[in-house]
Every structure is written in structure tokens, then in C-alpha cells.
Structure 1
Amino acid sequence: MAEESDDMNRRGFLQYAGATGAAVTSFALAGCSGGEEDLEDDEDGSDGEDGSDGSDGEDGSDGEDGSDGSDGSDGEDGEDGEDGSDEPFEITMTQRQDPTTLDPHDHRETTTDNVILHAYEGILWRGPDGGIIESLATEWEQLAPDRHKFTIREGVEFHDGTELSPSDCAFSVRRVVDPEVGDLESPQRDQLAGIVDAEVVEDENAIIVHSDGVNPLVFQEIASYCSVVSEEWINNTASEDIATSMNGTGPYQLTNYTEGESAVFERYDNYWGEMPDATQVEIIAASEDSTRVGQLESGETDIVSAVPPADAGRIEGSEDLYIANKGSTRILFLPMRYDVEPFSSVEFRQAMNYAIDLDQIISEILSGFGQPTAQPTLPSFFGHNPDLDPYPYDPEQAEQLVEESGHAGAEIQIEYPAGRYLLNDEIVQAAAGFIDDLENVTCEAVSRDFGTLAGELLDGDITTQPPFYNIGWGNTTFDASQTMLPWLTEGTSQTHYVSEEMEQLMSDQASEADADTREQLLQDANQLAHEDAVWVFLNQEFLVYGINERIEWEPRPDEFFLAQGMERSE
């Protein structure tokens, strides 16, 4: 079955949500050898489909609608929300995990961004449809293939009252890409791939971002990553305080943070853009699905992420609650370390893909809320290869490939971050069960704390990674390279696979200025990833939210869960 990527409307959701929880659970655990179950808890339509710079035109004109960098609206008068009401509008939001830090440059998790991006903003931003729009920059243009200029907005202040300057923007880029800047070796360095420096333009309110060669992704990367920090504040604040406090330019100012419990924000009165409706926002976390849903139904929280499909019908049937959903930019997969037996064998890796009935997992566990994947790149992304189909379920072929690999009798385990993704516990347990059903392989699923597992994946040392594990990856640049570079090339923090052919393809695409040629290189890289079975390809994750009727909100495909996009219902 060819890959698809479609959002599901409410009616379709309820049709799928009719599956009973008992059926889901019994299937998920069938044939699974076991593993700990402690349920403790990481990381889009494109405007640049042709690989272009993503701006509105070659003259560097500004974003599509003059919008600000936080909610896609364009006001600059600092007035109250759209309804003009001065009445308090307080929102409590529950996601799956607490932030691992409040330092915007020292993490790789969307759940952390969901807290940080209430207070911090980027130089550019993406609108709800994924298109690049203005934020702290009002114009952007390519000066040369390796030099890109950004005109910085005037009249913006940080929450400590100091004024934003181009120097702060240049410093923020440099803090991510240069370990010598800001006393930080940022794990986000490869998210700004090719960018090596940034400087202030003399006598202009602008900066120039420098790359190490042709760089077709500068605007996409800057729109997706690199929050802007105050150079003075960073340089005069201890690292432990940067990790537990915030000083951004965003619409919300942090007023209270209790690590592992909650983050509380209030609207910042001197915000440069349009004031959001919500006057106060509290963000909490609950890793267990039942806890989040219970909080929503009891009124303890107003909006929750990752609603299990089995609970969706009940929530939708409630008088004061509703369900919203969207196909995300995240894929779930099972990486296998190429340097460890039995996963050093391509035959064995292919066998793991043939062993798993992905269609059954999607239909019975996810109640249809997911799409099977065949490659690292989703269909809406630049570089997707339309000629690749998911591995079919073929346990006999899997057993034959295991024999050919020379690893018959292998005993393996899949380590997974409990509660991190939509039903990923059940997905991984089912996958382990399918593999364990093979006559010549034994497999079990073992739950892990997400923070601990993420630390092992981000430390740059492949030897600390589990041989076989589950993770999800969201790519908000809508470009294939930003999934394959960090996972499938040598020397990056998450590398688990290295091949000369992949290295050459990714090197060539990074320096290719012609969009068509670059697209073909990325498609070839996707084909290689599929044929080499670099991981067990699972599903595109769907975003499913439960929302109180007093809030109007449309989910974003990039998974950002931000109050500045939420409005008071009329």
C-alpha cells in the first residue's frame, strides 16, 4: 500500500474511534515476551516544495501575511484578544511530558518547545499551514548561495525590559552552531545544517547568516529552529538559571516554574505583536493517557494532547468537550545500530520489517489514526520518493532472511520511551510480539524513561545507544535532509547507521543549488534507506487533542501546542 498523508475529519475520527479498548489491549499484548511497564515518559505542507529559499520572492520580501512569529496574526498594537474582552481567560494545558530544560538551545524535544515557545520566538516562524512567515525578522533575502540577510524588527523588548538588537539575533544563531559561543555545545547544531556564523550588518538593523557553501535550507531552518535569546542575559546568567528561567520576546512571560510539575505564564503587556486571548497559561504534564483524559473530563485542564482513539468517541459525545486532530510531521520508527550484531546484517534488518504487520497495528491499535511509512520522508516533504511502498507483512520471508543473515536464534529487545507518543507502548509491544512469533528470533519490549533514553541518543556516542529502540522524529522544515542527516550520517548526535553511499548522497544534496537535481538526490537517499532497512518503518503519528468547548483551536501539523493560537469561543 502506498504511503498517504491525510488529515481526518471529525466524522471520520468517530468512525475509527468506535474500536473498543479491550480489543486494542488484547491485540497489543498478544505474543509479546514481556518487558517492564512503569509508564514513565523526546522530538507538514511546505512552502518550499521546489527546494527554493522559502521566501515570498527573490527580493527578500516579508512573510505571507505580515504575521507575527507566534500565532500567525499580524497585529502590532498590543491590544487584547480578538473579542476585545478584558475579562481573565485562563487556560490549563496538559501534554505528555514536562520540559527537560527551559534553555531554548539545549534540547531536542517538541514537548520542551511547547513550553519554551510561549516566551521565546525565532527570527522567522511558520504559519499554521507550514508556510514561512515573519517573526523577529520582517524581511529576508539571499545575497549569495552562502549568505542570507535578515532585517530585524524594531521596537521589540525582552521580558527583562531590554531592547532586542540584531546582535542578539546573530548571537542566538552562533550559540547554536558554535560550541565556543555562550558556554554551550547545543544539541540543535545539526538543525541549522550548513550554517557556520552570523554577523550584524553595519549601519543596518539586520544580520547576515553565513554558510559553509551552497545552502538551500537557510530560510527553512531559521523558520523552524533557533529561538532568539538576549546576549547580555545569557552571558550574565548561570547555566543552571538559564535552564530554569526565561527571558524571551514572546507574548507570554514566565511567572512560576516548578520543575517536574508546572510552568505558569501571563501575557506580557509590552509584547510587540497582537495580544493572544488567554491571559494566563499553565502547562502541566501527565504521561499516562488515562490521567490526561481524566483531567480533561473533570475540568482540571482545558486541553490535552495525545488522546487515545478509544476515548475519542466519549469525549466527542460530551456536552462541553470536543476532539480535534491532524496528521503530524512526526514519524515513529525502530532504529537498529549498524555496528552491533545481529543488526549489522542488512538481511536481518529487512527481516524485522517483514516480520511486523503494520497495517494491523494501525487499524487495531491506532483505530486508523496513522499512515504506514516506507522511508524517512513523509509525502508532503521535499525529497519524498513516491515509488516506495511499505514493507509487506511476510513472516515467512522474515524467517528466511534471518537464516540468510546467519543470526538464527537471536535474542533481542526493543527499548521504548513509555508514554511518549500516541499509543507507542502498545505499538512497540505489538511489534515485539510479531517479531517474537518468528520461529528463529526471540524479542521482548522494555520500557524506558524518555529523558534517560533521549540522553543516550543525544550524547554523540553511538556506543551508549541501545541496539534496537523506538523513537519518534518531527521534522518541521518539510525537507527530507533534516531527518536523514541527523539519523543516517556519520558524526551527528543520533547516528546509528553509516554507509559510504549515504554519505555521498547527503553531501551532494547539501551543496546542490539546482532544486530538481537536489530532489533526485534526496529521493535516491530515501530509496537507499528503504533497501538497507536502516530502521523498522512504523507510522506517521496523528495528533489527537481533547478540548474544552470554551476554547477554539486548530492543531498544527508540527505538533506545537501553543496558547497564542487559541481563542475564546464566542
Structure 2
Amino acid sequence: MKGVINQSIDRRTLLKLTGAAGATSGLGALAGCLGDPDDDDGDGGDLDLDTLTITQGEFPDVEDPNDHITGPYFNVYDHVYEPLFDVTPGEEPQGRIVEDWEHGDDGTVELTIRSDVVFHQGQELTAEDIAFTLERQIDPDVPPASDQVAGLGSIEGAEALDDTTLELSYSGAAQLAEFEFGNYLRAVSQEWYENDAPTTDDGVISGEDAEAFNGTGPFQVTEYNPGQNRIVMEPFDDYWGEAPNVGELIFEGETSDSGRVSSLLADETNFVDNVQPSEVGNVENDDDVRIEEVTSFRNIFLPMKNEVEPFDSLEFRQAMNYAVDNEEIISDILNGFGAPMSQPTPPEVNGYNPDLDPYEHDLEQAEELVEEAGYTEDDPADITLTVPEGRYLNDAEVGERAADQIDQLPNVDCDFESVPFDVVSEANSAGVDHEDIPFFLIGWGVITGDADYGMFGFFHDDGGVQSFRDEELQTALEESQVEDDPEEREAMLQEVNEMAQEKAPWVFLHQQQSIYGLDADIEWDAREDESVFVWEMS
């Protein structure tokens, strides 16, 4: 029988239930501890299902694989437009479509790709397709003016030397370049795009049926219904690699947190993301499903666009950090599923500074700093915090509590509004002087495992999602990008994190705990980068 008790559970109780309380020293140690203790390592390969349905809180609102920078979108489209590398967080990239790569002495790397890869609509993959796709990702004058440039900041361009050889040029350190191209390289067929792909007048791939998709991945799209937040895939017969053991793969979108869990408990889906802490007990009480969770590389924070008043004041931005009580939010809203952040970079990511402590909750200090910024009880600062609903763990509730805490200051009036995620995403990309939504909640997963990716996009003029402009911070990032010595570069990134904490470009909130619900007989280990690949399930 499916569980019917709305049983909330916090992290401490969960540790006791799983017998892990005495053996874990951090949230990351929970990864995998909730499954069958006799499970193997979960590397995948022998999953055998007629149909597998994955339900996420976000469903892609674009068809162009280069026109987004959102984790759940990658989870859908990477099964169609597969990554060229296999990347495990904290490890070096492993070849997938790319068989070999070698760095030169002149800021170049030569990639050799497989010769037996074809697109779903029949075109053969060549190095020219990858060069073409990279240009779409990094050149703002080439459609779709992609935000993916934020993950490819040091990559300058690519040239196809022959059908299977590609030369990438980069301006930074080789280590940084590998973090970037290892995570972001994909392939769109240039022949298909120029002749057959459905596109807008601006050159963005856009369509309402399966013909809008043409990748090289193990699954091809057979049905696409954006109105119902549903995309159906089946194994691609001419796939170069091992054939999937899933007859039909379905991705669905459901923004309702409780709705996703209800679908899982009703056996209407096999896998859901962002299980709310209050729902964990319901899943744990059902023998047919289980919880899988891990501390992710995703940082949840409140950007403050510093070319918009009152966020142009350092004192005001620091005051917002003192006003928000992170410990209360994690305890009351997240049931302990989170860890306070002290800087832009999460622990376990290259460049994290272990010497930095989170801002303490201090309303008196916050009030004094707001006064220094020029705002009084008689003439308070008037701000609004804009928050998405259903994208991150208890995001609307977290944002509302943060706004309430800020509103306790006598010299600040802080309102709160919840909106669809795409509204926040657009604000995030709208520039540092965007006045309509200058203060909002968003998350950023440092999927490359390197601090540059967590900061370049937000703090650099060429970053794509810049919300903070500061010459000193930008210069420090640029200097770290060209440092070839890994240890020296790590130290430089730690200094950038310290500088960022002092300048307070964000209200630092927490590192997100990724909580998934899935069928009990599916073996799968949650990843810190939040990627969900069917080929890693068994």
C-alpha cells in the first residue's frame, strides 16, 4: 500500500533511521546511504524497463540545446544531444565521443573524435559540427546568443582540421580549459541546422514536434508535447555505443513539489527530483520507493545588482547578509537539509576557501550598515525580493522567510513575490543594471568542479549572467584564469572568494541538498552536479 501519512523528517532523524548518525561527518556522507545495503556501486548498464518516466520540477521551455543553462534542461537534452565527454565531479574528463585529446604549447588542444557517430536524422558527425556548435555557444552575435558562454569563458574558438580532428584555442590555463570543454561540449549538425531545422527568424531552433530535435545521443525524440510538459524518447537504432536497456524514456515536468511525490507514490512515475524535506517521510514509509540524496555543488543565493540602488552600496549589501538568519532558514524551512554558505564556491570545489565563515545573523549590525548607506526609519530603503517557485528545494518558502527577516529592519521595507522560474532566469541574464528585478533568489551548480565557473558568469563583463560589476574582482578572476600552476591557481581562487565575501555581491544562503525519490529497485547514486543520466542507472 502506498504511504498516506504526511510525516515530516529532518536530517538528524534521517541519519538515525539509516544507522548513519555515528558514521557521517558531513551532509555529503549521506550519498547513497539510503538504498539497499547490498546494492552494487550503481554504475549502471543492466537497467531493463519497458518504460522509465522521470519527473522534474522544471521542463525545458526551449528546443534549442544551446539556448539554456539550466540543470534540468541538460538532464533531458543530454540523452538526445549527448556530452562529448563523461565527467564525474572532482575527476578529470573521460572520453566519450572524443576519443583522445592533447594540449599544445600555444594555448590549443587537439581533440580526436569517433568516426562512427551519426545524428538521429542521418547526418554523419564531423569535427566541423562541433566547431559550429561551439561558435553558437560562445559568440554573442551568433544565434541563440547563448548563456552557455558562462561555462566556456576561456575558450576562444575551434577549427576543424579534418573530419575527426578539432583544434580548440583557449586563453586561460589548461586545467581551466579542461573543466570547461569537458562539461560543455555538445554537437548540433551544421548541415541539418542550415537546411532542415525549424528555426525562428533569429536563428534559434524552435519547433513543436519531434523534428525539432537531432542529436547523436542514445535516445531519439519520438513525441514532444510542450503544452503537457512531456517529451518521449526511444533508443536510437544507429547509436554508436551500447544500446539502452530502456524501451521508452519519458521526461515530464511538474512544478508542484507535492504533486511529484504523489505521482511517485501512485506509481505514475519512476523518478522525481527535489523531494521536499516534509515529504521524505512519506517516501521512506513506502517499501516500493526510496530516497537518494547528496549535498550538491549548487549554491543558493540572492544576487544584488550593484548598478541599481540601494544595492550599489557596499554597506547595504553587507547589511542584507547580516539581516538574513541562515541557520533559522535551514532548520525551519529545510529541516536541516542544507549547509550555510560563506562564499560563492561550495566545499569540495577547486578554489573553495576553508578559512571563511558565514556572515553571522546580527540585526543591530545590519541596521547600522543600512544607516551608513543613507537609509533611516523615516526614509527606509524600499526593495522587493523575487523568488521562483518549484525550481529549488523549498525555494518560495526560503525566499519568503529571508524577505521577512530583512523586513524586520526598521530602515528597510522588503516585499516578497514568487514568480515562474523563467522570469527569474531572464532577470539573471538581463545585465547588471536591470532595474525591474535587481534582487532575486537563484541557484548555481558549479558543475565543472572549479570555482571559476561559480564566479566568472556573475562577476565578469563577458560572463553571460553578470549581476555584479567590480573591476578589482574581475581582474583577480582574469589573473587566476591564466595561471598554469594548479596549486597557485587554487590559492588565487581562494583569494577571489575572500574578496567576494567582503564585497557581498550576493546574500549567501546555503548549499543545496539534492533529494530524489525513485523506485526501490532502481540502483543509482545521486551526483553532486545534479546530472541525471539513465546510463548510470541499473
Normalised-by-shorter TM-score class: 0.7 to 0.9
**Which runs of 5 or more structure 1 residues have no equivalent in the other structure?**
1-7, 17-43, 46-70, 74-80
User: Does residue 1:228 correspond to 2:187, yes or no?
Assistant: yes
Alpha-carbon distance change, 490 to 171 in structure 1, aligned in 2, over 3 angstroms: closer
Alpha-carbon distance change, 401 to 434 in structure 1, aligned in 2, over 3 angstroms: same
**Which runs of 5 or more structure 2 residues have no equivalent in the other structure?**
1-10, 20-27, 30-41
Report Cα offsets for 1:392-415 as digits up to 9, x if no partner: 111111112112221222121100
Give the counterpart letter for 1:107 in structure 2.
Answer: H
Task: Give the TM-score normalised by structure 1.
Answer: 0.82
Aligned-residue CA RMSD in angstroms?
2.4
Task: Give the TM-score normalised by structure 2.
Answer: 0.87
Aligned-partner SS, 1:433: helix
Aligned-partner SS, 2:246: coil
Corresponding position of 2:375:
407
Corresponding position of 1:21:
none
Corresponding position of 1:467:
438
Quote how far apart the aligned CAs of 1:95 are: 0.4
Corresponding position of 1:295:
263
Contact 2:158 2:169 in 1 (8 A): yes
Corresponding position of 2:131:
170
Aligned-partner SS, 1:557: coil
Q: Distance in 1 between matches of 2:91 and 2:315?
A: 38
Report Cα offsets for 1:448-507 as digits up to 9, x if no partner: 121122123224463255121111111211111112111012243322211221121012
Match of residue 142, structure 1, among 103, 114, 118: 103
Match of residue 331, structure 1, among 299, 309, 312: 299
Contact 1:358 1:372 in 2 (8 A): yes
Corresponding position of 1:107:
68
User: Does residue 1:82 correspond to 2:46, yes or no?
Assistant: yes
Q: How many residues align?
A: 496
Alpha-carbon distance change, 129 to 243 in structure 1, aligned in 2, over 3 angstroms: farther
Corresponding position of 1:258:
225
Q: Distance in 1 between matches of 2:249 and 2:189?
A: 23
Corresponding position of 1:40:
none
Corresponding position of 2:93:
132
Contact 1:267 1:280 in 2 (8 A): yes
Report Cα offsets for 1:371-404 as digits up to 9, x if no partner: 1101000111111111100001111111121122
Corresponding position of 2:205:
242
Q: Distance in 1 between matches of 2:174 and 2:213?
A: 32
Q: Distance in 1 between matches of 2:438 and 2:81?
A: 36
Q: Which is further off, 461-470 or 153-162?
A: 461-470
Q: Distance in 2 between matches of 1:372 and 1:497?
A: 21
Alpha-carbon distance change, 449 to 486 in structure 1, aligned in 2, over 3 angstroms: same
Quote how far apart the aligned CAs of 1:140 are: 1.4
Alpha-carbon distance change, 380 to 129 in structure 1, aligned in 2, over 3 angstroms: closer
Q: Distance in 1 between matches of 2:262 and 2:217?
A: 31
Q: Distance in 1 between matches of 2:90 and 2:55?
A: 24
Contact 2:63 2:206 in 1 (8 A): yes
Corresponding position of 1:12:
15
Q: Distance in 2 between matches of 1:91 and 1:248?
A: 20
Report Cα offsets for 1:322-381 as digits up to 9, x if no partner: 110011111100011111222111111111111111012112211111111010001111
Alpha-carbon distance change, 388 to 534 in structure 1, aligned in 2, over 3 angstroms: same
Give the counterpart letter for 1:218 in structure 2.
Answer: A
Alpha-carbon distance change, 464 to 560 in structure 1, aligned in 2, over 3 angstroms: farther
Structure 1 vs Structure 2: percent identity of aligned residues? 38
Aligned-partner SS, 1:360: helix
Aligned-partner SS, 1:223: helix
Q: Distance in 2 between matches of 1:381 and 1:446?
A: 32
Corresponding position of 2:413:
442
Quote how far apart the aligned CAs of 1:516 are: 2.6
Give the counterpart letter for 2:46 in structure 1.
Answer: E
Alpha-carbon distance change, 191 to 370 in structure 1, aligned in 2, over 3 angstroms: same
Q: Distance in 2 between matches of 1:213 and 1:548?
A: 44
Q: Distance in 1 between matches of 2:89 and 2:372?
A: 48
Corresponding position of 2:470:
499
Corresponding position of 1:64:
none
Corresponding position of 1:187:
147
Report Cα offsets for 1:130-175 as digits up to 9, x if no partner: 5421111011121125101111012111111222222222222222
Aligned-partner SS, 1:338: coil
Corresponding position of 2:38:
none
Quote how far apart the aligned CAs of 1:180 are: 5.2
Contact 1:490 1:498 in 2 (8 A): yes
Quote how far apart the aligned CAs of 1:511 are: 1.7
Matches within 5 A, 1:11-410: 11-12=14-15, 82=46, 88-127=49-88, 130-179=91-140, 183-202=143-162, 205-212=164-171, 214-236=173-195, 237-240=197-200, 242-244=205-207, 245-261=212-228, 262-408=230-376, 409-410=380-381
Quote how far apart the aligned CAs of 1:216 are: 3.5
Q: Distance in 1 between matches of 2:433 and 2:532?
A: 31
Quote how far apart the aligned CAs of 1:256 are: 0.5
Corresponding position of 2:5:
none
Give the counterpart letter for 1:206 in structure 2.
Answer: T
